[in-house]
Each structure stands twice: as structure tokens, then as C-alpha cells.
């Protein structure tokens, strides 16, 4: 064999070895893939069996529920007959009749008002230009608006709070169109609140008042000093970043709103140990709020 033939043979042998190695690697890879597929097939088979078992359990539950429904239906008197039977051969006095009539009247009124809202604080304007609406000085009576659906009404009431962020509509309030019973109940709550407020005599340690801190800060400080207040909590402060709000002898904890309006703060006297509590409560994330811990020593009631 000549050197040329030996060289060709060795070249052929090398190429063949490369091909055989590639085939061997491919076979190994396929074997590994096959093992993985076998494992996945076993897992899927187990899941399928579990799913079939659950479906069987659900079918059994559905059969039980249907049997219970059939049993209840077989024992249930038609609703109209059941309601009317409550009054069969039972004499009703005037009080019972009045209650029934009141419930029916309130139900009818609720149905007629379920899509309504009332708008308060708007301004009367004789100008037909829609851009000038609500800018005149004379205030109108509440405006009754009937919306298309009850869902629209709820959406309007949810978004009504955003009016306070508008310089044009900040004094406009939107509320539900209440029934007579709801208005009576609301008046009762207001009356109770006023009565509780009037019971706060000079001897009590708590006060409630409506003030304009941003306008009369000096008068507010004088009021605090004259009443010897220890802790003051204020909402709707309307403080700005450059507002001078510190009071001598008090620590202040505050949370301001970035836009117009809002804001809360707490003043605590220096001789009372206090600190602000960090807040991680998501349910209050949309409101300006502040948590303050004060350690009080109670010597008397």
C-alpha cells in the first residue's frame, strides 16, 4: 500500500469516527429525552387519574344536590300561597296594618329612587354658555338626577369624592336620593350626634369644633393655650409645604395632600411621650391618615 492510500484511509477513518461519535451522542440525547418523556407521561397519568376521581366526586355531589332540591321542592308550598296563608283566619289590628303599609310604601319609594342622586351646592346661572355653568353667585336648590341604571348611580357616588379636588366644583356634594325612612333615620343620627356633642361640658377632657386653621392659625394657637389642650387632632388641614404650622410646646405629626385640600395632623404636648407609628395598612392607602402612639399617665377620671 502506497503512502497515498494510507493517507486516504486514515482520512476516511477519521471522518467515520466523527460520524459514529455524532450518532452515539445523538442516541444518548434521545435516550435522555425518552427517559424524561417517560417520567412526564407517568406524572400526567397520575394527574389524569386524580382528575377522573375528582370528576366522579363532583358527579356524586351533583346527584346529591339534585336529590335535595327535588326533596325541598316536593315539600315547598308555592310562595304566593305561603305568603297569603300567613294572614288566613288571623285578624289584624291597626298597628299590624300600618306596619305592612309602611313596609310596602318604603319598598315602592326605594324602587322609584334606586337610580337617583341629588346634587347640592350648585350655582344658578342664566347664561346659556355651558362653559359658565355653576359660576354665578346665586345658589340653587338640590338637583335631582335620574341615571340610566343603579350601577351608574353607584359609580357616580363612588367618584363624587373627586369633586373636592376641583377648584370649580369643590363645594358641590353628590348624595343618594333617600327615602322618607332613610331621611328620618339620618336625622335621628344627626340629632343623637348633636346631643352627644352638647354633653361635652367644661369638665370633660374632649372637645369637638369646626375651625379654619389655615386662615386663623394665631387664633387657633390662642384657643389651644386658653383651653390647656394636651392633644389636638385635625382633619382637612389644607397645609402646604411652606405653611408655618409649628406650635410652641407641641410635637406635630402630619400628612399633607399633594393636591389642593385634605391633610391631617396631630399635635401632642411635649411632656407627653409620643411617636408616629409607621403605617403598612393597604386599606387606608387612598386616604391621608396618620397613626400616633401616646403614653398617658391617668391620675383621675
Residue 100, CB-side half-sphere exposure with 13 Å CA sphere: 9
Reported as a single tens digit per residue, the pLDDT across 259-277 is 777 788 888 888 888 888 7
| Residues 217 and 271 occupy one common structural domain | yes
Domain count, the chain: 2
| Residues 180 and 250 occupy one common structural domain | no
Cα separation values, 40 from 27, 35, 44, 46, 119, Å = 20, 9, 6, 10, 64
Residue 74 falls within a domain, yes or no?
no
Instruction: Give the mean pLDDT of 192-202.
Output: 67
| Residues 129 and 210 occupy one common structural domain | no
Helix 94-113, helix 180-198: angle, nearest 10: 100
In the chain, the percentage of residues whose pLDDT exceeds 90 is 2
> pLDDT confidence of 116, banded at 50, 70, 90?
very high
Examine the fold and report which residue of 185, 217, 237 is the final residue of a domain before the chain moves on.
Answer: 185
Would the pLDDT of 73 be above 60?
A: yes
What is the residue-wise DSSP string for 114-148? Answer: TTEEEEES-B------GGGTT-SSSBPPPEEEE-S
Q: Any residues with CB less than 8 A from the CB of 206 and at least 6 apart, and which?
A: 200
Q: Any residues with CB less than 8 A from the CB of 208 and at least 6 apart, and which?
A: 197, 200
Instruction: Give the mean pLDDT of 167-178.
Output: 86
Q: In whole angstroms, what is the distance from residue 206 CA to residue 171 CA?
A: 29
Angle at 280 between CA 276 and CA 286, to 5 degrees: 100
Q: Check residue 285 and give its pLDDT.
A: 60
Would the pLDDT of 127 be above 80?
A: no
Reported as type and span, the H/E element at residue 190 is helix 180-198
Residue 4 falls within a domain, yes or no?
no
Mean pLDDT, the chain, rounded, equals 76
> pLDDT confidence of 281, banded at 50, 70, 90?
low
Residue 174 falls within a domain, yes or no?
yes
> pLDDT confidence of 301, banded at 50, 70, 90?
very low
Provide the strand spans (E) within 154-295: 173-176, 231-235, 250-255, 264-269, 273-277, 291-295
Examine the fold and report which residue of 128, 150, 185 is the final residue of a domain before the chain moves on.
Answer: 185
Reported as type and span, the H/E element at residue 227 is helix 217-227
Contact between 137 and 127 under an 8 Å Cβ cutoff? The reply is no
Residue 122 falls within a domain, yes or no?
yes
pTM for this prediction: 0.36
Reported as a single tens digit per residue, the pLDDT across 10-40 is 778 888 888 888 888 888 888 888 888 888 8
Residue 256 falls within a domain, yes or no?
yes
| Residues 173 and 206 occupy one common structural domain | no
Q: Which domain holds residue 147?
A: 114-185
| Residues 157 and 213 occupy one common structural domain | no
> pLDDT confidence of 297, banded at 50, 70, 90?
low
Instruction: Give the mean pLDDT of 227-233.
Output: 79
Q: Check residue 67 and give its pLDDT.
A: 84
Residue 172 falls within a domain, yes or no?
yes
Residue 9 falls within a domain, yes or no?
no
Examine the fold and report which residue of 159, 185, 211 is the final residue of a domain before the chain moves on.
Answer: 185
Cβ burial 20-32 (10 Å sphere, 16+ → b, else e): eeeeeeeeeeeee
Instruction: Give the mean pLDDT of 210-224.
Output: 65
Residue 176 falls within a domain, yes or no?
yes
| Residues 218 and 252 occupy one common structural domain | yes
| Residues 237 and 159 occupy one common structural domain | no
| Residues 175 and 239 occupy one common structural domain | no
Amino acid at each position: 500500500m502506497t503512502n497515498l492510500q494510507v493517507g486516504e484511509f486514515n482520512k476516511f477513518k477519521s471522518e467515520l469516527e466523527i460520524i459514529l461519535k455524532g450518532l452515539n451522542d445523538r442516541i444518548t440525547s434521545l435516550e435522555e429525552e425518552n427517559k424524561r418523556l417517560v417520567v412526564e407521561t407517568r406524572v400526567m397519568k397520575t394527574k389524569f387519574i386524580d382528575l377522573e376521581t375528582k370528576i366522579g366526586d363532583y358527579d356524586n355531589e351533583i346527584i346529591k344536590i339534585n336529590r335535595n332540591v327535588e326533596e325541598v321542592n316536593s315539600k315547598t308550598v308555592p310562595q304566593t300561597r305561603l305568603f297569603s296563608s300567613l294572614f288566613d283566619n288571623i285578624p289584624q289590628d291597626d298597628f299590624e296594618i300600618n306596619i305592612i303599609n309602611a313596609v310596602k310604601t318604603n319598598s315602592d319609594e326605594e324602587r322609584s329612587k334606586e337610580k337617583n342622586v341629588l346634587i347640592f351646592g350648585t350655582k344658578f346661572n342664566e347664561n346659556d354658555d355651558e362653559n359658565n355653568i355653576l359660576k354665578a353667585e346665586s345658589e340653587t336648590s338640590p338637583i335631582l338626577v335620574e341615571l340610566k341604571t343603579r350601577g351608574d348611580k353607584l359609580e357616580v357616588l363612588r367618584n363624587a369624592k373627586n369633586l373636592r379636588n376641583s377648584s370649580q366644583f369643590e363645594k358641590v356634594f353628590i348624595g343618594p336620593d333617600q327615602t322618607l325612612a332613610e331621611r328620618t333615620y339620618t336625622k335621628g343620627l344627626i340629632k343623637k350626634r348633636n346631643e352627644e356633642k352638647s354633653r361635652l361640658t367644661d369638665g370633660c377632657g374632649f372637645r369637638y369644633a369646626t375651625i379654619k386653621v389655615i386662615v386663623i392659625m394665631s387664633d387657633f394657637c390662642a384657643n389651644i393655650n386658653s383651653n390647656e389642650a394636651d392633644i389636638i387632632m385635625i382633619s382637612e388641614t389644607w397645609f402646604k409645604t411652606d405653611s408655618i404650622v409649628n406650635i410652641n410646646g407641641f410635637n406635630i405629626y402630619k400628612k399633607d395632600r399633594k393636591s389642593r385640600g385634605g391633610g391631617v395632623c396631630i399635635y401632642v404636648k411635649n411632656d407627653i411621650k409620643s411617636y408616629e407609628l409607621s403605617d403598612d395598612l393597604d386599606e387606608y392607602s387612598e386616604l391621608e391618615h396618620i397613626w400616633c402612639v401616646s403614653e398617658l399617665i391617668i391620675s383621675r377620671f
